[in-house]
Structure 1
Amino acid sequence: MRIAVCPGSFDPVTNGHLDIFARASQLFDQIIVAVFHNPNKKPLFTMEERVEMLREATGHIPNVRVDCFSGLLNEYVRRQNSNIIVRGLRALSDFEYEFQRALLIKKIDPVIETVFMMTSSEYSFVSSSGIKELAKFGGSIRGLVPQCVEERILRRLHEVQHV
């Protein structure tokens, strides 16, 4: 069985992420979407909320499983009986960053391969941070994130503004 891990903070998951998951699901037997706890970021949603949103948003892709982890990615990948990491790319700047990360992982764990997938052009400008900023200032995020995620973002931003 070919298992691939798609790691990320997914705060929040976007339609660009879903595009990568759906296309990767055609290439591998199982895709594990793994929410990573990044201590350097201050997320809008808890890890549990992000896992819940991802499960709802990926429910239509039968071979996707959602999980979460902290620690070293290569160790997590190995624990999942995998040696494949799938990373989505939007632009050349993403490639530079992800390429360096892939080389570092390859250095510490030569068995692990990183597969890069270009996002569909319709999502090439979509980022989680851009979505949060757009929503925070009242812009429409419809069509950029799953509807279930849009509702939660708007609700969370409303809660934060009224604290």
Structure 2
Amino acid sequence: LRGQVFIGEFIYSRYRIAILAVAAVAVLGLWLLLQRTAFGRVVRAGVQNPDMVGALGISLRPYMTAVAAIGIGLAGLAGVMLAPISGVHPAMGVEILTASFVVVVIGGLGSFWGVVAAGLLVGVVRGLTVYFIPPAAEASMYLLMLLVLLIRPRGLFGERILRFE
């Protein structure tokens, strides 16, 4: 995966394009798993109302274990794909975790496609900030989160949660 690809005036490494393709396949696969399978229906129902799922006689423990395993697998895949770019060091997980938190908050809790859109938005904002104002690159992500939360406290695609007690 060495070499570069020229798209207009921009130059991209083949490896970064491969990372983009792997990420797209992972996102699509995860969406299909959660939206188009019985496993996904149980997981979504269990997240919304675990008591009702239990009342139907379905044990959530194996499903939530599988969800954790999938998350760990995706995190491992991301680490393996990112290691050649950023290097491997003890704090690399913290950097990724804080960026992930910001993306989830901006996208809206519980919104799959909101998080995908927020990830793209944060990436573009950070990329532009690195290009134009390099010292503010890290802060730009948090400033974007602040602006989104001031305008829309639930995030861009978060829905209002109604609670009946």
What's the TM-score, normalizing by structure 1? Answer: 0.23
Q: Which has the higher contact order (CA 8 A, sep 6+)?
A: 1
Which one has a larger percent helix, Structure 1 or Structure 2? Answer: 2
Which one has a larger percent strand, Structure 1 or Structure 2? Answer: 1
